[in-house]
Structure formats: C-alpha cells, structure tokens
Amino acid sequence: MANKINLILKVWRQKNQESQGRFETYKALDIDTDMSFLEMLDVVNESLTKSGVDPIAFDHDCREGICGTCGAVINGQAHGPLKGTTLCQLHMRHFKDGQTLVIEPFRAKTFPIIKDLCVDRSAFDRIIQAGGFISVKTGQAPDAHAVPVPKDKVDWAMDAAACIGCGACVAACPNASAMLFVAAKASHLNVLPQGVPEKKSRTLNMVKQMDQEGFGNCSNEYECEAACPKEISVAHIARLNKDHRQAS
C-alpha cells in the first residue's frame, strides 16, 4: 500500500506579466507518494476548482522527461531537489510529511511570466531559428549510416543532443545565462560531418541571437550543469567558446 503525506504549498500566483504576483498558501492533503510532482499539482488543482478558486497554471506535456515543457523552482532549486530529474519525473516520495514547499516559476528577464508557473521560453526558439539546424540535404537515415563518424565525436554529439530545452540552466544561473543551452544545441551539430560546413555561421548566429535576447554572460558558476535534468556537461560551453573564437 502506498504511503500518504500532507504538504504545505506556497505557490507563486500571477495573472499575467503586467500583474503583480504573490505567494498563496495551499494544503496538499493525502498525497500518494508514488505520484509525480505534476500529479500532485493536479490533485491540488482539482480541490481548488471544487472550491471555486482558479487552478494553478503550470506547463506540462509528455510527463516522461522528454519534451522539456515542464519546469518550476522548488525551494530554490530548478526542477526540485533530485539530481538529473525533470519536474514531471520527480516523485513525491522524495519529500517528507508536513514539509513546506515553495513553488515559483523560472526567474529570468528573458523568460517573462505568462501566468503563475508558466513562462515564455520562446527566446530559445529564436536562438534555434538563428542557426541550430543543418540547411543542406543530408539524405535519408540509411544514407547517414554510410558516413563514418569517430566514436568520441558520436558520444560528444549524443551528450549534447540530450538537451530538452527546458530552461533550468537559465533559471539556476545567477546571471540568467543561456550558454549551456546554446552550447549543447550548437555542439551536437558542429562535431558531426553533416554539420561541419555551417559550423562557423551556426556558432556566430546562435551566439549573436542569444546576446540579442538579453541572456546574461557565463561566469563559470556551474549551476547550469547542476540543475540540468539531462546532466549536460559545462565542457560544451568551453567547446562553444573555442568554436566562436575560431569563427570570429
């Protein structure tokens, strides 16, 4: 039989970007410890709706740790206290009965609040549109296997490609830097044969767009790597800096 816990939630409520936000306190009662964090919010929202209170708005989609849609700060930690875990894959058994959870959205000027815990991360989309792609036709999947790629480059590219674009790196960084995101999105293309021809333009365009969006500079705090649910290494930032220096 699953265990049950009771929690006190202090949730950030904000109608829209122009409105002034505030913390509201709610009780989460008889929460099954096998639930995910988002399932717990579902239960709380059902109770709020029955009481005539506007439910808490939060982002979610696949709930399998793949899409990068979900995200919130729990007690000061992006995606919560568990390392290498998205908010949707964080289970309530990692919290204690009677614990108080402070839940707020990702905080960054470049991530304006839409409502409550929902933020606008379209700045990431514009960075990808600036250069995070291969424009030439590289053939179908069977043709790709005909191109030899060294094992070390495959591993490097796959590590970078694990980025789901959730924005936890920005939320955790004291400078609200997007360097880990940009580095991962550029790195997984720059080392592969199909991505090399556009490597210089890709790197310059993505970094330029990142700066135009207003993200902060990287000061090697390593908070981004610690908060990343896919545990992407800051070594990719060093690679991006090298690629950018060579492209410049």
pLDDT in tens, 182-218: 999 999 999 999 899 999 999 999 999 999 999 999 9
The kind and range of the H/E element at 164 are none
Q: What is the pLDDT of residue 77?
A: 98
Percent of the chain at pLDDT exceeding 70:
98
Q: What is the pLDDT of residue 131?
A: 96
Distance CA 51, CA 77 (A): 30
Distance CA 224, CA 147 (A): 33
Up-side HSE of residue 144: CA atoms within 13 Å toward CB?
10
Average pLDDT, the chain: 96
Backbone angles phi, psi at 59, to 5 degrees: -80, 140
Q: What is the pLDDT of residue 140?
A: 77
Is pLDDT above 60 for 1?
Answer: no
Which candidate, 75, 229, 242, places its Cα nearest to that of 163? 229
Percent of the chain at pLDDT exceeding 90:
93
Is pLDDT above 90 for 142?
Answer: no
Which candidate, 42, 33, 47, places its Cα nearest to that of 2? 33
The total of other beta-carbon atoms located within 10 Å of residue 38's CB is 18
Contact partners, residue 151, CB within 8 Å, separation at least 6: none
Span 46-72, pLDDT tens digits: 999 999 999 999 999 999 999 999 999
Mean pLDDT of 81-92: 97
The confidence band for 9, taking pLDDT boundaries of 50, 70 and 90, is very high
Residue 108: both structure tokens together: 């960054």
Q: Which domains does the chain have, with CATH numbers?
A: 4-115 (3.10.20.30), 122-247 (1.10.1060.10)
- Strand ranges (E), 14-121: 22-32, 73-74, 77-78, 100-104, 113-115, 118-119
Span 228-242, pLDDT tens digits: 999 999 999 999 999
Q: What is the pLDDT of residue 141?
A: 73
